[in-house]
Amino acid sequence: MENFRDKKTGRFKKGEHPFSFKGGFTSKRGYVFTYCPEHPFATGRKIYVMEHRLVMEKHIGRYLTSKEQVHHKNKNRADNRIENLHLCKNDAEHKKLHRKEYKFKKKCSWCRKVKSLKHFQLKKGRPYSWCYACIYQKTKNKPWVLNRFIKKTQVV
């Protein structure tokens, strides 16, 4: 078996990889990065490119500009099939796609689940950032705090 590490520094030699190297990695946010040092927009020590950008570039036959963004239709960042990708010309168009998806839904800022608006209390005409379930969990032993969140209905 070849020794890929430099004897002085212990780092891998330039262009050499251990047998376990698969050509890329998956980030904490779920994006797949591919080893591609010759790409003009490579990031991360200038050797990795997001795989969905490579797939879209191959499909359209040119490099993407820095303003163009690739949208995952099924929201799975690791699913980089061309049927699942949509090219947006800028950030505004990409945000518009996400607003359409969440028109009657909201993401709870505590549990991070997307729920319909009926699960949120309206505060000055807008839905509150926590859903009712999270408000209850966060304040179940503090009734004086719960009164601020949930309006009491008067029974006559």
Q: Encoding tokens for residue 12?
A: 């891998």
- Residue 13 C-alpha from the chain's centroid: 33
Domain co-membership, 53 together with 120: no
**Tell me: the pLDDT tens digits for 113-146?**
877 777 777 766 555 677 878 877 777 766 655 5
Domain co-membership, 69 together with 118: no
**Tell me: the pLDDT tens digits for 56-104?**
999 999 999 999 999 999 888 888 999 999 999 999 999 888 777 766 7
In this model, does residue 155 exceed pLDDT 50? no
Domain co-membership, 45 together with 119: no
Domain co-membership, 39 together with 87: yes
Domain co-membership, 11 together with 87: yes
Domain co-membership, 56 together with 85: yes
46 falls in which pLDDT band (50, 70, 90)? confident
Domain co-membership, 31 together with 49: yes
Residue 34, judged by CB atoms within 10 A of its CB (0-12, 13-18, 19+), counts as buried
Q: Which of 101, 126, 147 is the last residue of a domain?
A: 101
DSSP H or E run through 20: none
Q: Which of 71, 86, 101 is the last residue of a domain?
A: 101
**Tell me: the pLDDT tens digits for 23-33?**
778 888 888 88
More confident residue, 72 or 148: 72
What whole-number distance in Å separates Cα of residue 94 and Cα of residue 104?
A: 18
Mean pLDDT of 11-20: 55
Domain co-membership, 83 together with 137: no
Q: Which of 101, 117, 138 is the last residue of a domain?
A: 101
Provide the b/e sequence for 69-88 (b: ≥16 CB within 10 Å): bbbbeeeebeebeeebbebb
Closest CA to 84 of 95, 97, 96, 75: 75
More confident residue, 37 or 44: 37
DSSP 105-155: EEE-TTT--EEEGGGEEEETTEEEEEEHHHHHHHHTT-HHHHHHHSPPPPP
Answering whether pTM is above 0.85, one says no
Domain co-membership, 118 together with 97: no
Which range of residues forms the domain containing residue 15?
A: 1-101
Task: Count up the domains in the chain and report the number.
Answer: 2
Mean pLDDT of 40-45: 80
Domain co-membership, 85 together with 130: no
pLDDT score at 18: 54
Domain co-membership, 46 together with 112: no
**Tell me: the pLDDT tens digits for 108-118?**
877 878 777 77
Domain co-membership, 82 together with 138: no
